[in-house]
Structure 1
Amino acid sequence: MDCYLLIDFGSTYTKLTAVDIENEEILATAKDITTIENDIMVGFNNAYEKLQEKLQGKEVNFIKKLACSSAAGGLKMVAIGLVPELTAEAAKRAALGAGARVLNVYSYDLTSKEIEEIRNSKLDIILLAGGTDGGNKDCIIHNAKMLAESGIDLPVVVAGNKVAVDTVEKILKDAGMFYKITDNVMPKLNTLNVEPAREEIRKIFMEKIVEAKGMKDAENFINGILMPTPAAVLKAARVLSEGSDKEEGLGDLAVVDIGGATTDVHSLADGEPSKAGVTLRGLQEPFAKRTVEGDLGMRYSAVALWEAATTRKIQKYLGDKTVDIEANCRYRAENIRMVPTTEEEIKFDEAMAKTATEIALERHVGVLETLYTPCGVIYSQEGKDLLEVKYLIGTGGVLVHSENPAEILKAGTFDVTNPTSLKPKNPKYLMDKTYILSAMGLLAEVNPDKAVRIMKKYLVNVD
């Protein structure tokens, strides 16, 4: 039978998914530790052997082999803009939507100290923005000169004021830098246009970053590494929400991905006010939005989670004041491959997961503010209103292995004690039990109809 092999070279595990493309069935999945330190194909081959064992007795012909990757730290970027709340924030959102880890965001004129920070940040790509079209052009030109004079040898995506583009291009070209010009991430005040920048970032990832991370051997075996893993998850979520040419989507939804180092939230919704009489303020929100919380992880970032949440919040979910919260978090950070085996360890992990979910959703969604004016009370919204989101989808090890994943996801929903946070009110809970979201993002690149149908079939209702 003709099948697709969909591969995720993850930061910890390399995950394989075999899909019977005609019958739209997942035949088998397998994973093994990612071996980026020596040869990434070692971990792949280990996982492939496990997959072949599960496929015994089936005549499988892999007609396509597609991959995404977050190995070797994934795609790492900095975003540079003009005003922190505007073009710099727009640049950050473009980078996050492309599946990057945004290590820093710089605004206004770059300083020598900031250039040195960028030089020492072990980056993959720089996103250079700044100014609305026809607005301030001095800042982006200054920052282009600083990058050109720095000797930094990194690809630059230019997505700023179109009036300054010719000058910026000449500066970067004369310096011998690799660059790509694309549309402004914020052509008008408070108006986002992040898709062109996302696409250029993805192309550079495919052309240059994969090879730089020693993954050329993998490319010789597969048809191509199409995108960073987080971008594949966002792609899957988007096609599941919006639907495809022949398949209807599920409508507005959000995805919570709890990992060892971060908790990512993806929302697919316009985020407009769901209640009458509410006015919007601040930067326009993208329909497909991703946020990454680097201090909310189950292992690498366990101590940071405790510091961000406080002991009392984790205790609230644990329901046991005798447990040393700090010590347990520190132990997990020092033993990143720890797998909980006892009832106490499982309960503690789930309390951490609920805490991470609550805080990550709170940071992702919009906030409602009450303003008192001479004409009376008015309500103002900044960020996305996700109150009416239909589905909340969970993925990540702690959720997959939990006997009560809905309880973990419920921690990220609307709370009457915090009514200004516009989190989902009554969503249905779905689980990615077989880690298929990144695989379906890859499949959606070549056959979105089948990707939607497979996700509808394999995402498990856990209400």
Structure 2
Amino acid sequence: MTLACVDIGSTFTKAALVDPATGHLLATAQAPTTLDDVVTGVLAATAGFPEAPVVACSSAGGGLRLAVVGYEQLISAEAGHRAALSAGARVVHVAAGLLDADRLDALRAAEPDVVLLVGGTDGGEASVLRANAAVLASSAPVQGPSASARVLGGSGVLPRSVPVVLAGNVAVRDEVAAVLRDGGLPVHEADNVLPDIGRLAPESARTAIRAVFLEHVIGGGRLSTDPGLRSWVRAVTPDAVLEGVTVLARVLAPERVSVVVLDVGGATTDVYCVPDPDAEQATLGREAVGVPARRRTVEGDLGVSWSVEALRAAAVAEGLGEPGDDPLDLGEAAATVALRRHLRAEAGYGPGGASARSAGLVVLSGGVFRHADRAAVDRVLTRVAADAGGAGSVLAGTPVIVDRSYVLAAIGLLAAEHPHAAAALARDLLGSRQQVIPPVG
């Protein structure tokens, strides 16, 4: 038996043929993503694997757009933001405090696929969570004969009903969920993302967000009306990749190092970090929101094709060039800016936020690295490593591997049902000596 592990990306659909008994990578293939119906692209990418069942992840069509609504900006909304990133979502809006007409309009304008509603520690403040639920439930007129057709809206309405993941104060969870459902909004209940000050608990919300993605984005017909898609897709792509990075970190656990993955894509650039668990444990509880056990930042303005103009502007804003110039290799620009931003985000975690700077392994992914020759990758690494005090602090002196076969998503897809195969595939990635670039700096 073999499995076709497929990532349906914004530009290309990548397939890896894997033996789930051994974890051996047997073949790879790719085809352009067909956004009018992504199933066509999947069939093209797997045409050489006709007998293999498909398991897939997807970031096509922008992936999963999520808005956070929280009690206040610095703690509950930030906790929701961190939980959403760990779930593989692209956070398009964060609202804090009571939802008034202006905030509701801003939420509507962000066009989220899902709203993550948070607020209060368990047994703590509940008035804002109650009030925001009531606003969401009553903010839109009914479209059609049933209340299930309600949508969010202020002065206007979204084109579809927006599901809510409820992950706030559990003392009022049933009450708040009932208010939302009475307003016609689909609700997925989860444990509190911030059950106590300093303790971030994103996993239950992560599971609920994944369920929303599968039910409403994949199952909702936006990417394809073919029922095969729903049977294939297990997760949003960054969620699968983060799981793959976690497996990689477990394989490296005896070395007790932090793993950083830099994935430069056509539409976004993602940075993932799974810290050394021993070092992480020593710093937990020292910051009001809590330190995520697995970290991810996603930059929607740092793609090398779909958002290239925004990438150039971001590079200029970081002092890497002048307006009107095109001073940097695009991969270099995306890598430098994304790593700088990730480090700034980690700085907000307090004492537990130094994991990326102390990385013991960096994995490069995305077409800009996978399809480049060794010399071209070395040039990018050398330039990024020269960014002293910024992105260079992640790369300087750190072993670097290029995921040329793009197996991190496949490792994540295998992890739940075929953990031994996932670990074997991760070991193969680490053992591919021809892919290892000597330390830079």
TM-score range, shorter chain: 0.7 to 0.9
Q: Specify which structure has the bigger relative contact order, considering alpha-carbon pairs within 8 angstroms and separated by 6 or more residues.
A: 2
Q: CA deviation at 1:359?
A: 2.3
Matched position secondary structure for 1:188: coil
Matched, 1:136 2:125: yes
In structure 1, the residue matched to 2:306 is 300
User: Of residues 414, 426, 433 in structure 2, which corresponds to 1:443?
Assistant: 414
In structure 2, the residue matched to 1:45 is 43
Matched, 1:461 2:431: no
In structure 2, the residue matched to 1:399 is 369
CA distance in 1, matches of 2:45, 2:298: 28
- The 3 A distance-change label for structure 1 pair 85 and 249 is same
Q: CA deviation at 1:392?
A: 0.5
Q: Which runs of 5+ in 2 are unaligned?
A: 141-150, 152-160
CA distance in 2, matches of 1:441, 1:296: 24
- The 3 A distance-change label for structure 1 pair 271 and 445 is closer
Matched position secondary structure for 1:446: coil
Please say if residues 368 and 420 of structure 1, whose CA atoms lie closer than 8 Å, have aligned partners that are also in contact.
no
Please say if residues 340 and 390 of structure 2, whose CA atoms lie closer than 8 Å, have aligned partners that are also in contact.
no
CA distance in 2, matches of 1:420, 1:9: 29
Q: CA deviation at 1:123?
A: 2.1
Q: CA deviation at 1:223?
A: 4.3
Matched, 1:225 2:197: no
User: Of residues 93, 105, 110 in structure 1, which corresponds to 2:82?
Assistant: 93
Please say if residues 362 and 412 of structure 1, whose CA atoms lie closer than 8 Å, have aligned partners that are also in contact.
no
Q: CA deviation at 1:91?
A: 0.5
Q: Which amino acid aligns with 1:359?
A: V
Cα distance per residue 1:338-383 (max 9 Å; x no partner): xxxxxxxxxx5xx3322322222222126899xxxxxxxxxx7473
- The 3 A distance-change label for structure 1 pair 155 and 368 is closer
Q: List aligned pairs for 1:265-284, cutoff 5 A.
A: 265-269=271-275, 281=287, 283-284=289-290
Q: Report how many residues are paired.
A: 409
Q: CA deviation at 1:139?
A: 0.9
Coordinate RMSD, CA, aligned: 3.1
User: Of residues 312, 316, 319 in structure 2, which corresponds to 1:310?
Assistant: 316
Q: List aligned pairs for 1:23-38, cutoff 5 A.
A: 23-37=22-36
Q: List aligned pairs for 1:17-416, cutoff 5 A.
A: 17-37=16-36, 39-49=37-47, 51-52=48-49, 61-62=51-52, 64-151=53-140, 152=151, 153-215=161-223, 218-220=226-228, 223-243=231-251, 251-269=257-275, 281=287, 283-310=289-316, 313-314=319-320, 326=324, 328=326, 348=328, 351-365=329-343, 381=351, 383-403=353-373, 404-409=376-381
Please say if residues 311 and 326 of structure 1, whose CA atoms lie closer than 8 Å, have aligned partners that are also in contact.
no
- The 3 A distance-change label for structure 1 pair 422 and 283 is farther
Matched, 1:428 2:406: no
Q: CA deviation at 1:303?
A: 2.2
Cα distance per residue 1:111-170 (max 9 Å; x no partner): 212222333433211100011122221111111011001232211111111233233122
Q: Which amino acid aligns with 2:71?
A: L
Q: CA deviation at 1:423?
A: 3.8
CA distance in 2, matches of 1:192, 1:229: 23
Please say if residues 387 and 414 of structure 1, whose CA atoms lie closer than 8 Å, have aligned partners that are also in contact.
no
Please say if residues 8 and 68 of structure 1, whose CA atoms lie closer than 8 Å, have aligned partners that are also in contact.
yes
Q: CA deviation at 1:281?
A: 4.5
CA distance in 2, matches of 1:249, 1:273: 12
- The 3 A distance-change label for structure 1 pair 29 and 187 is same
Q: Greater share of strand residues, 1 or 2? A: 1
Q: Which amino acid aligns with 1:5?
A: A
Q: CA deviation at 1:217?
A: 5.1
CA distance in 2, matches of 1:255, 1:420: 13
- Rg comparison, structure with higher value: 1
User: Of residues 418, 421, 424 in structure 1, which corresponds to 2:389?
Assistant: 418
CA distance in 2, matches of 1:420, 1:457: 27
Q: CA deviation at 1:454?
A: 1.2
Query: TM-score, length-normalised on structure 2?
Result: 0.83
Q: CA deviation at 1:413?
A: 5.3
Matched position secondary structure for 1:132: coil
Q: CA deviation at 1:44?
A: 2.1
Please say if residues 270 and 285 of structure 1, whose CA atoms lie closer than 8 Å, have aligned partners that are also in contact.
no
CA distance in 2, matches of 1:21, 1:363: 37
